[in-house]
Amino acid sequence: MKTFSPKASQIRREWRVVDASGQTLGRLASQIAQFLKGKHKPGYAPHLDTGDFVVVVNAEKVRVTGRKLTEKLYYRHSGYPAGLKSRSLAEVRASHPERVIEHAVRGMLPHNVLGRAMFRKLKVYAGPAHPHQAQVAGSQQRAG
């Protein structure tokens, strides 16, 4: 018995379109992270980027439960004293709805060079239209 490790020439990347309308944010993000990592493929290797490209449409219609719209906060720091700024999920969702999904998925990927390469294969769009019509076969999927 030998461990299978795919070569770069053997990795086949597909394009997946995921419709986020009506889906819960965390469950959707974990499914997208699995597609980006390639864990759904039989030739998965944790040290290689074997995942697919994922196009997420209708990011503005993603669902959150409980009081997360007002109580979930996104933080950033300018680097200066007292430079901590926070925005609620409702504020981020109103201005940039695609960032909500991107932030959730980024936290579920490895925090290294490999994770950054996986994250570059994620394309998120607020509405139903996207410019990747030529790459995808026209079939939309619901994650989960």
The pLDDT tens digits of the residues spanning 79-97 come to 999 999 999 999 999 999 9
Token pair for residue 138?
């026209």
Going by pLDDT thresholds of 50, 70 and 90, the confidence category of residue 141 is low
Per-residue confidence (pLDDT) for residue 7, from 0 to 100: 87
Q: What global pTM score does this model have? A: 0.90
Q: How far apart, in whole angstroms, are the C-alpha atoms of residue 48 and residue 10?
A: 12
Per-residue confidence (pLDDT) for residue 138, from 0 to 100: 52
Q: Tell me the pLDDT of the chain averaged across its residues.
A: 93
CATH class of 13-65+96-141: alpha beta
Task: Choose the weakest-confidence range: 22-26, 45-49, 59-63, 85-89.
Answer: 45-49
What does residue 140 show for φ and ψ, rounded to 5 degrees? -95, 145
How far is residue 37 from each of residues 25, 28, 32, 56, 71, measured CA to CA in Å?
18, 14, 9, 16, 30
